[in-house]
Structure 1
Amino acid sequence: MQNENIIKGQGAQRNVINRFDRFTFEPEDEDFESVKTIFIEIFPKTIVNKVKSEDLPMEYSMNPYQGCEHGCSYCFARPTHEYWGYSAGIDFERKIMIKKNAPELLEKFFKKRGYQPFPILLSGNTDCYQPAEKQFEITRQLLQVCLDYRHPVNVLTKNALVLRDLDILKPMAEQNLVSVSLSIPTINEDLRRKMEPRTSSSKNKLKAIEILSENGVPTHVMVAPIVPGLNSDEPLAILKAISDAGAQSFGYTLVRLNDTVEPVFVRWIENTFPDRAQKVLNLIKSMHDGKLGEKKYFDRQKGEGNIAEMIHITFKIGRKKFFDGEFPKLSTDGFTGTKAQQLRLF
């Protein structure tokens, strides 16, 4: 039975101590349920990040927003909010930093002398189509820049709002410049509302895959994260559903609760599923050598032990049953570089 005192529509139920702060103060009687989302404009000097992690396939990523309103308690990006002096808890969901100068910075990056294009992951940290995008349209502007310069981009999101930009995505797909990955950890809508409270519904995500596929946009699905005891019984059902919708490939990860993600998730699971919270936490620990988190490259994605192995086998069966062929690689051949400004005149 769910705790009646849980703040609905939020993953974090409180702020957690920022590990970089010596002192912290938080009133015990603060009404967290009434905390409103605020948007803070920041002015970065760059928007494209070089990805240095050895076990990640992308060369570059870019994130138009810092923080995320979607409210997933397990989000690995939560600790990045602490570098800005905020908490990985409620602050991460309610204090959203926006980068309005991102399109200008992206053009500047493309114009660098000697730049050799590689597909850029749009997101990778916080969701580029979170609710703030409805208002600010920074992601849309970034996609337009990529189209203008004929530069490939992989989009990763939990939100069907991506369909709004089909008028840009379709011509990009015609030139082999874009793919879209939808994150779908569950197709159980009751569970979805608890795991990722402010994302699109499972039904709308599957519909988005269908519409994108019908319009020639290659679609991929991240079945992530798999949380044993919550959604670990769903992989085959999810894979069938996304295959039927037209997805061409999928990936998956096992949940890991590093740094300040751990207290956020622990409080969430204890409030949301008090009857099985300890079981879920113990199952997660069984995959990470008795810990809730794992930071070692390669090990952090696959886990260890019987539970992890059962999950891997299930996905292997699903891949063989529902998917064949390879996901198309995006093209860098058409990149125009500084010629893009000239092309805009016609």
Structure 2
Amino acid sequence: MIYISLLHVFPLCSINFLMAGYDSISPDLRVTARGARSNAAGRYEATEIRYEADGWAQEADEKPLRTHVTDEVARRIISYNRSPDLPFDRSINPYRGCEHGCIYCFARPTHAWLGMSPGLDFETRLIARPNAAALLDAELRNPRYVPQPIAIGTNTDPYQPIERSHEITRACLEVLRRFRHPVAIITKGTLIERDLDILSDMAAQGLVRVGISVTSLDAGLARKLEPRAPSPARRLATIRALSGAGVPVRIMASPVIPGLTDHEIEALLAAAREAGADAASWIMLRLPLEVAPLFQDWLQEHYPDRVNRVMNRVREMHGGKEYAADWGRRMRGSGVYARLIARRFEAAAARLGLEKGQTRLRLDLFDRPFEKGDQLALFG
């Protein structure tokens, strides 16, 4: 048995028990293969709920913390941005939240907008957008739409485990293929191999490129960092499969974690080049908002002897803060250490022939296919 304490208590009717985050986890739940250790309420919540054990809970009563998926009927699917340090101005995200559970994920704070925790809620309470493909079709048919490459997977992974049953990413790719619209995909999910039939066809027309994210070659470390993501070796195999099918693929050393994975840069690029990657990129560890305490809590549990070493480097790159969101610096940091990492990466990439930029995707093939019932189809 347990009791729940409410801090900053409001009238009972104002508390959303379904959506609010929990600072601690119910003693009757068994948390395994998850990145976060807590479920603190998001920054917009006026209430905080804590479970307090009364000593009656038994291991035999524990139930596993399972993943729950809720459907969202979206109104639009293409998101636009004007960020000067991003190589794309539009993107699609078929899912909110990500079961991979990467503890460092910069997208965790987005769950706070939904009234959920950036902690365990982010990786266990997912939202799918089943009407994404239909919306995409409609938005691309707008006469005012002007094509530019669409990025998929910029916030949460489009090939996380629930894609196997929901197939929203595949449905969106089928739409893009019909319109002959360029797309850039970012993932660490090996399920992308399922869609090689679509990707190889689009690649032959210069319409697709893929980035595979690999943080470390150390399987033990990766398992702790990214508990439900494929192993590093399996992701390298995916690079090999994509390359073998003629799909341009780059290795994304992302994120580089000071004092934890930074020593692997050269080996990581070499392994990716051997697997068939034709380009490479990197991003430094980013700890915005709720990610910073979640990551430090993770460090304290798994690498207590490195907490100061890692966090001192992080603060050194952000003017003494755990994160600074300045354009042009948020992805790489600044200072001596950041410049050293950049030079090491550039030298390794040049030595391996991975220094070229991303494959330029074609825009001139874009065409709106006829819909059923279009009269002009009679003259096709």
- Do the two structures share a fold, i.e. TM-score over 0.5? yes
Q: Which residue of 1 aligns with 2:330?
A: 300
Q: Tell me the CA shift for residue 28 of structure 1.
A: 3.3
Whether the aligned pair in 1 keeps the contact of 2:80 and 2:90 (CA below 8 Å) is yes
**Equivalent-residue separation in structure 1 for 2:315 and 2:35 (angstroms):** 21
Correspondence 1:1-346 to 2 at 5 A? 7-29=31-53, 34-323=64-353, 324-339=355-370
- Counterpart secondary structure, 2:236: helix
Whether the aligned pair in 1 keeps the contact of 2:213 and 2:254 (CA below 8 Å) is yes
Q: 1:81 to 1:344 in 2, by over 3 A?
A: farther
Q: Tell me the CA shift for residue 34 of structure 1.
A: 2.6
Q: Which residue of 2 aligns with 1:3?
A: none
Q: Which letter does structure 1 place at the counterpart of 2:359? A: P
Q: Which runs of 5+ in 2 are unaligned?
A: 1-29
- Counterpart secondary structure, 1:299: coil
Q: Which letter does structure 1 place at the counterpart of 2:296? A: V
- Counterpart secondary structure, 2:283: strand
Q: Which letter does structure 2 place at the counterpart of 1:126? A: T
22-31 or 329-338, which deviates more: 22-31
**Equivalent-residue separation in structure 2 for 1:87 and 1:344 (angstroms):** 50
**Equivalent-residue separation in structure 2 for 1:286 and 1:149 (angstroms):** 47
**Equivalent-residue separation in structure 1 for 2:377 and 2:226 (angstroms):** 40
**Equivalent-residue separation in structure 1 for 2:235 and 2:377 (angstroms):** 34
Whether the aligned pair in 1 keeps the contact of 2:317 and 2:338 (CA below 8 Å) is yes
**Equivalent-residue separation in structure 2 for 1:172 and 1:99 (angstroms):** 24
Q: Which letter does structure 2 place at the counterpart of 1:22? A: A
**Equivalent-residue separation in structure 1 for 2:358 and 2:371 (angstroms):** 28
Q: What do the CA deviations read for 1:284-325 (whole angstroms, capped 9, x no partner)?
A: 111111111111111111212222122111101112111254
Whether the aligned pair in 2 keeps the contact of 1:148 and 1:344 (CA below 8 Å) is no
Q: 1:7 to 1:291 in 2, by over 3 A?
A: farther
Q: Tell me the CA shift for residue 340 of structure 1.
A: 6.6
Whether the aligned pair in 1 keeps the contact of 2:32 and 2:65 (CA below 8 Å) is no
Structure with larger Rg:
2
Q: Tell me the CA shift for residue 7 of structure 1.
A: 5.0
Q: Tell me the CA shift for residue 344 of structure 1.
A: 10
Whether the aligned pair in 2 keeps the contact of 1:225 and 1:255 (CA below 8 Å) is yes
**Equivalent-residue separation in structure 2 for 1:154 and 1:313 (angstroms):** 26
Q: Which letter does structure 1 place at the counterpart of 2:169? A: T
Q: Please, what TM-score do these two structures have when normalized by structure 1?
A: 0.94
Q: Tell me the CA shift for residue 338 of structure 1.
A: 4.4
**Equivalent-residue separation in structure 2 for 1:300 and 1:215 (angstroms):** 35
**Equivalent-residue separation in structure 2 for 1:61 and 1:197 (angstroms):** 26
Whether the aligned pair in 2 keeps the contact of 1:173 and 1:217 (CA below 8 Å) is yes
**Equivalent-residue separation in structure 1 for 2:330 and 2:356 (angstroms):** 27
Pairwise CA RMSD: 2.1
- Counterpart secondary structure, 1:26: strand
Q: Which letter does structure 2 place at the counterpart of 1:129? A: Y
Q: What do the CA deviations read for 1:183-221 (whole angstroms, capped 9, x no partner)?
A: 011111111111111111111111111111111100012
